[in-house]
């Protein structure tokens, strides 16, 4: 399909999800299910063997484990994870080929966008024409959240395609409405995709899994790996660590200090050289076993870390580099269809 872009205003998380489903089908995704569930909505679509599972929350908890839920509180948002099949008789959060946490028995790991109950300032849908999709939402004026997924990372010599997905809040806080403290992805602009989404308020070391990559079986039999810092099931841990080069916490983590791109990004708060044009890819790594080394996986090809917003540029502006258009948001830029 050709690259595509759509923008508009939605009236609720469910309305946003329904609008997204219509756009995805126009982009060639096959709809397996799209219907009301609980107070919200569920949608399941597939393309090229990858299945995307989505659920709007309308004052609900939507992430379930074997007994009860593991969301913190009732709230609003959209949950996301990828899988390898569709089962119409199963709960939205129990679809085939999903990321599994290390619970016994295992429950689903994923992430999502935290949203207000009603309208948002605006949404942006991006497809680069190669099935790498990003949704950016201005949930209130100047406060941005996001989610996205793709069929394959940009190749770094890997033997097969690595599907991926990410969102601005881990499942644990997907519907958390707590406005009492400033928190990225809730009442503060989210961190960049794959830049570590925090577990607790003002935590410089702990992060729950907000981004996931499905690696090859020779690397990790359980397939999905997430970018959490802890190995508790509540962190979204699937049994193996995945990491990226950008940590927007004040301090680094032990795992980040081990891989090659750590020194490039850590501690950065402002780009110092031509801020508007610096577009840096988010290279992702998996911790292998045996050997305990960080093996490169690739990088999502349609967004880049960029700190142009606030350094002479505003959110929503278009930056042209090398004949391509990039739309700027706080912490990153997205390649945009003309």
What is the C-alpha separation between 196 and 167, in angstroms, rounded?
10
pLDDT of res. 263: 35
DSSP bridge partners of 111: 80, 170
Q: How do 50-60 and 75-83 pair as beta strands?
A: antiparallel
DSSP labels, 268-320: -SS--SSGGG--B---EEEE-TTT--EEEEEB-TTEEE---BTTTB-TT-EEE
In the numeric block, the tokens 């429950």 are attached to 107
What is the average per-residue pLDDT within 295-324? 89
pLDDT of res. 138: 97
Contacts of 310 (CB under 8 A, 6+ apart): 330
What is the C-alpha separation between 207 and 183, in angstroms, rounded?
13
Q: What are phi and psi of 323, to 5 degrees?
A: 80, 5
pLDDT of res. 259: 37
Higher pLDDT, 35 or 295: 35
For the chain, first and last CA: distance in Å? 14
pLDDT of res. 300: 94
pLDDT of res. 269: 45
pLDDT of res. 252: 43
pLDDT of res. 69: 63
pTM: 0.90
For residue 48 the two structure tokens come to 């090229």
Question: With 70 as the cut, is the pLDDT of residue 150 above it?
Answer: yes
Q: How do 30-37 and 40-47 pair as beta strands?
A: antiparallel
The per-residue pLDDT of the chain, averaged, comes to 84
pLDDT of res. 262: 39
Domain spans in the chain, listed from the N-terminal domain onward = 4-242+281-302
Sheet holding 242-243, edge to edge: 242-243, 284-287, 294-298
pLDDT digits (tens, 9 = 90+) for 49-84: 999 999 999 999 999 765 556 667 889 999 999 999
């Amino acid at each position: 399909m050709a690259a595509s872009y759509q923008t508009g205003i939605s009236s609720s998380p469910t309305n946003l999800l329904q609008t997204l489903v219509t756009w995805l089908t126009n982009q060639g995704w096959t709809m397996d299910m799209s219907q009301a569930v609980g107070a919200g909505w569920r949608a399941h679509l597939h393309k090229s063997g990858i299945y995307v599972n989505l659920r709007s929350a309308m004052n609900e908890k939507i992430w379930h484990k074997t007994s009860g839920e593991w969301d913190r509180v009732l709230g609003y948002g959209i949950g996301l994870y990828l899988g390898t099949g569709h089962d119409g008789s199963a709960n939205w959060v129990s679809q085939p080929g999903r990321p599994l946490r290390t619970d016994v028995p295992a429950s689903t790991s994923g992430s999502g966008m935290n949203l207000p109950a009603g309208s948002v300032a605006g949404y942006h849908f991006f497809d680069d024409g190669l099935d790498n999709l990003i949704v950016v939402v201005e949930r209130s004026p100047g406060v941005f959240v996001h989610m996205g997924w793709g069929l394959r990372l940009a190749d770094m010599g890997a033997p097969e395609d690595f599907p991926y997905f990410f969102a601005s809040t881990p499942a644990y806080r997907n519907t958390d409405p707590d406005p009492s403290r400033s928190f990225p992805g809730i009442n503060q602009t989210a961190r960049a995709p794959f830049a570590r989404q925090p577990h607790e308020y003002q935590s410089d070391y702990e992060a729950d899994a907000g981004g996931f990559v499905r690696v090859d079986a020779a690397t990790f039999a359980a397939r999905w790996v997430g970018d959490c810092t802890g190995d508790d099931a509540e962190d979204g841990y699937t049994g193996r660590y995945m990491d990226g080069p950008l940590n927007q916490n004040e301090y680094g983590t032990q795992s980040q200090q081990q891989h090659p791109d750590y020194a490039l990004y850590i501690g950065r708060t402002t780009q110092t050289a031509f801020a508007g044009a610096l577009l840096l890819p988010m290279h992702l790594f998996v911790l292998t076993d045996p050997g305990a080394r960080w093996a490169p996986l690739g990088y999502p090809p349609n967004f880049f870390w960029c700190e142009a917003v606030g350094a002479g540029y505003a959110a929503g502006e278009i930056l042209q580099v090398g004949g391509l258009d990039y739309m700027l948001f706080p912490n990153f830029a997205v390649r945009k269809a003309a």
